[in-house]
Structure 1
Amino acid sequence: MDLDPLLLSRLQFAFTISFHILFPAFTIGLAWWIVVLEAVWLSTNRPIFRSLSEFWMKIFAISFGMGVVSGIVMSYQFGTNWSRWSDVVGNVLGPLIQYEVVTAFFLEAAFLGIMLFGRDRVPRPIHFVATCMVALGTLISSFWILSANSWMHTPAGYEIRDGRFFVTDWWEVVFNPSFPYRLSHMLTATFLTTSFVVAGFSAWYLLKDRHVEHARQGLTWSLGLITVLAPLQVLLGDMHGLNTLEHQPAKIAAMEGHWEGGAGAPLILFGIPDMEEERNHYEIGIPALSSLILTHSLTGVVPGLKEFPPENRPNATIIFFSFRIMVGIGLLMVLAAVLHLFLRWRGTLFENRAFMRFLIAMTPSGFVALEMGWITTEVGRQPWIVNGLFRTADAVTPALTGAAALTTLLAFVVVYAIIYIAGSYYLTVMLRTGPNPPSEYMQPRDLAREAGRPKRPLSKADETFAAGD
């Protein structure tokens, strides 16, 4: 049996990136959640916020480490499996990736030690600043990585000389046409992912009647963010879709399951796209709704896959379903936001056990939506590695053999299985155990320091809450 190095290299990259993306996406939102907790603790001196901060900081440390380990593998693959890609686009993407290392990774590395181990060794404001710098580093990292990836979808600011890409305008390269939409959509997804993890485990604590005050704080903050971001994500997704329609119409046609296209195209709710027969089996659709969503007109014209040569079409069977799973999860997130507002209005938010179970079920929803979104994005770009200019088949290392690609793929499967099963198990144990009691963080030095500060009068609610802590 002949082993196809291209297919195996794509499988290897898909496998490693599918694991890698989970941890950076989680830590971006988690870093800013810790910033919020640190800011509230710094301003109120209520020990429950320090307890929550230190608890989630442990989760952050493990997730950050696992993200770094999996990210190192990505850079090696560029040289071993995709050397032609590195050679052809290196003048454009090499500096962008290097900027990420210099501006983001170094920033995180400089302050991560203070954040994780310096709480009782530096003044509290300095520790807070270090936490903010780590969180800022995660955003800067996202900026450069999304810029580089977006450029491959909507290349700009380049010229091709002797088969290689050269930069003519760095501003156009960095802020390429799809970058603002993809960055905002991705960052919102990371915050939603973290919010549902916090909300899910807080709901689980409430159902188990454990860490009740921690859970109430976690639910209050996370559901507040979900209520704002879930509807916003729908709007951002619509704007991203319109941008994709302009620059990658074949991807939109595959996502929507349209073969003919044209005016008044239906929104296909279900179907099974058949790439060989060029049609959908068991199709169920709503007339004209796809045109309305994509063009904001019932008679708007949308593209069909038959408008593109078969060799230039993405795999509609894969992204048709991945796109619908992502959208379905997004609608469930909006439902969570609506239910939160309703229960908050009724005054039964923390007592509604059915809603708590719903939040527990939604705990991994952000991770699943992220995976489905990246499958839709990356499979939808095929067969191009630089959209319309450079094919994926031409980017693989020429001397790479199928046996070598299979060996590294199997090695990664084994290593990742060991690392991620162990890491995920440890994270689960920590999350199930929960935070320490806030009283453990009131050390004699803290009490003496706080005793010398003027205290603001406590409200009745503050006194009751402090007594409960």
Structure 2
Amino acid sequence: MDDFIAARSQMALSLGFHIVFSCIGMVMPFFMAVAHYYWLTTKEIRYKNVTKAWSQGVAIFFATGAVSGTVLSFELGLLWPQFMKQAGPIFGMPFSLEGTAFFIEAIALGFFLYGWDRFNPWFHWVTGVIVGVSGLVSGILVVAANAWMNSPAGFDYVDGQYLNIDPIKAMFNDAWFSQALHMSLAAFVATGFAVAGVHAFMILKNKNKQFHTTAFKIAASFGCVAALLQPLSGDISAKDVARRQPAKLAAMEAHFHTEKGASLLIGGIPDSKTKQVNYALKIPGLLSFMVHGDTKAEVKGLDQIPVENQPPVAITHYAFQIMVGLGMLMMALSGLYFIALWKKKQWLSSSWLLTLFAAATPLGFLAVEAGWTVTEVGRQPWIIQGVMRTADAVTPMPGIAYSFYLYTGVYLSLALVVSFMLYRQIRMVGTLYDLPAHASQLKK
């Protein structure tokens, strides 16, 4: 493995690991706040139990996310020094503000975790809400920085120099809204389905059904609403990509040839040598309609992109298909859930629906990982779209491959530790909150 591929692989590993904890940190506090609100308004002990259990999970993920996020910030400077030298003064503002949001989140989480029976109940609830809001803002700010890489703005690039820098314009670039909306909804989908799936599994195991049913309904409601809204944000993002990054769209769709009335491909195996896609289901005119609102409009293909500027087609296409396919599956499950909620309430306790949710536990995060693959691989060979190539930004320091192997071992170890802690936490929840003695103590 050469140093360039090792640097990209290490960054991909770090991002892929961190994004899971980022999504949970952005969303889980809102679940916690809803359960806490129900406790304050109804005084039903099950809501307090759920709130306390979830807050412990939030603390675990917050600590892990803080560590993995700190590593990422160092990696940007260590692996991509030329990128940070040129880009740091331009898009540094969202990272600075993200640090402030993270600081507020840490303080609010401390207040919430240690504020039981010490603060005014509603002030205590507000601290939990602040944890969620600051976490969401933190995620949006990081996405804004990534959006700048896809849609650079806030500077003039003249003779290799970055002039007339405007950090505000850089932060609110053309891509920030569509990416922030899409990523925020994805975080709610992924976390909602993951949490609902875990609680559905515990219900199937007949573990403290009242507790897990309460938690399941809150998480599933968030996840299913977001899953039904996600295609709208996906449409906004796709139209934005078609306008700013036609090479990425062409790779996503394996669209080799510029044509009018372009077909939408479902599945298929792209062959970059023959410029064909084999075994795909084609829907005539649909790609043109989705991009331009006209079934006969022309869609730019890879044949109009210089070969040296084309992204890897197969990886981008497969990742895009996985993201969309998993999203459609979760949409279908969301439809079933709301039918159950409004018309077929007996379905809510049926083993088949709970089994579907348990099976869907990892789908949201798999879709998130696939989506980030599309975003990053689809931008190649650029680290700053149209301005700086990834190969020109990498560190000249040798031996990056060994760093990649080391980080792989560290992240695998951390994943095992976190998984063990969560497993133990779930087992404790299944017994602790099922004991009347503990329930009576929690009422105090």
Q: Which range, TM-score by smaller chain?
A: over 0.9
Superposition RMSD in Å: 1.8
Offset from partner CA, 1:363-420 (integer Å, 9 cap, x none)? 11111010000001110111111111111111112x311xx20111111011111111
Structure 1 residues 423, 164: closer, same or farther in 2, change over 3 A?
A: farther
8 Å Cα contact 1:384/1:391 also seen in 2: yes
Q: Distance in 2 between matches of 1:227 and 1:350?
A: 14
Matched residue, 1:58: 56
Please give the secondary structure, in 1, of the residue aligned with 2:408: helix
Which runs of structure 2 are paired with 1:259-278 in the superposition (5 Å)?
Answer: 259-278=256-275
Matched residue, 1:356: 354
Q: How far off is 1:66 after superposition?
A: 1.0
Aligned match of 1:413 in 397, 408, 432?
408
Q: Distance in 1 between matches of 2:249 and 2:376?
A: 13
Offset from partner CA, 1:259-305 (integer Å, 9 cap, x none)? 00211111111222223333323343222222222222211211111
Query: TM (normalized to structure 1)?
Result: 0.90
Q: Distance in 2 between matches of 1:227 and 1:107?
A: 29
Q: How far off is 1:231 after superposition?
A: 1.7
Offset from partner CA, 1:176-208 (integer Å, 9 cap, x none)? 111111111111111111211222122112212
1:423 lines up with 2:421 in the alignment: no
Q: Distance in 2 between matches of 1:305 and 1:162?
A: 28
Indicate the larger mover: 382-391 or 335-344.
Answer: 335-344
Q: How far off is 1:83 after superposition?
A: 0.6
Q: Structure 2 regions of 5+ residues with no counterpart?
A: none
Indicate the larger mover: 206-215 or 373-382.
Answer: 206-215
Which runs of structure 2 are paired with 1:59-98 in the superposition (5 Å)?
Answer: 59-98=57-96
Aligned match of 1:236 in 219, 233, 236?
233
Matched residue, 1:37: 35
Give the % identical residues. 33
Q: Distance in 1 between matches of 2:189 and 2:32?
A: 15
Aligned match of 1:297 in 294, 297, 315?
294
8 Å Cα contact 1:185/1:236 also seen in 2: yes
Structure 1 residues 412, 316: closer, same or farther in 2, change over 3 A?
A: same
Matched residue, 2:110: 113
Structure 1 residues 271, 19: closer, same or farther in 2, change over 3 A?
A: same
Q: Select the structure of larger CA radius of gyration.
A: 1
Give, as a single letter, the amino acid of the residue that structure 1 aligns with 2:134: G
Q: How far off is 1:437 after superposition?
A: 2.2
Give, as a single letter, the amino acid of the residue that structure 1 aligns with 2:367: A
1:437 lines up with 2:430 in the alignment: no
1:221 lines up with 2:205 in the alignment: no
Give, as a single letter, the amino acid of the residue that structure 1 aligns with 2:31: W
Indicate the larger mover: 134-143 or 116-125.
Answer: 116-125
Q: How far off is 1:166 after superposition?
A: 4.5
8 Å Cα contact 1:153/1:386 also seen in 2: yes
Q: Distance in 2 between matches of 1:306 and 1:84?
A: 31
Query: TM (normalized to structure 2)?
Result: 0.94
Aligned match of 2:134 in 114, 134, 137?
137
Please give the secondary structure, in 2, of the residue aligned with 1:120: coil
Please give the secondary structure, in 2, of the residue aligned with 1:350: helix
Q: Distance in 2 between matches of 1:161 and 1:299?
A: 39
Q: Distance in 2 between matches of 1:375 and 1:346?
A: 38
Aligned match of 1:347 in 345, 348, 371?
345
Q: Distance in 1 between matches of 2:243 and 2:122?
A: 47
Indicate the larger mover: 271-280 or 206-215.
Answer: 271-280
Matched residue, 1:382: 380
Q: Distance in 2 between matches of 1:121 and 1:162?
A: 61
Q: Distance in 1 between matches of 2:164 and 2:35?
A: 43
Q: How far off is 1:142 after superposition?
A: 1.3
8 Å Cα contact 1:216/1:350 also seen in 2: no
1:22 lines up with 2:17 in the alignment: no
Aligned match of 1:313 in 310, 319, 329?
310
8 Å Cα contact 1:329/1:369 also seen in 2: yes
Structure 1 residues 63, 283: closer, same or farther in 2, change over 3 A?
A: same
8 Å Cα contact 2:182/2:234 also seen in 1: yes
Matched residue, 1:202: 199
Please give the secondary structure, in 2, of the residue aligned with 1:63: helix
Matched residue, 2:320: 323
Matched residue, 1:365: 363
Matched residue, 2:178: 181
Aligned match of 1:123 in 91, 113, 120?
120
Aligned match of 1:333 in 320, 330, 333?
330
Q: Distance in 1 between matches of 2:338 and 2:128?
A: 31
| Aligned residues between the structures | 440
8 Å Cα contact 2:327/2:367 also seen in 1: yes
Give, as a single letter, the amino acid of the residue that structure 2 aligns with 1:374: W
Please give the secondary structure, in 2, of the residue aligned with 1:285: strand
Q: Distance in 2 between matches of 1:47 and 1:426?
A: 25
Structure 1 residues 142, 167: closer, same or farther in 2, change over 3 A?
A: farther
Q: Distance in 2 between matches of 1:125 and 1:24?
A: 27
1:246 lines up with 2:243 in the alignment: yes
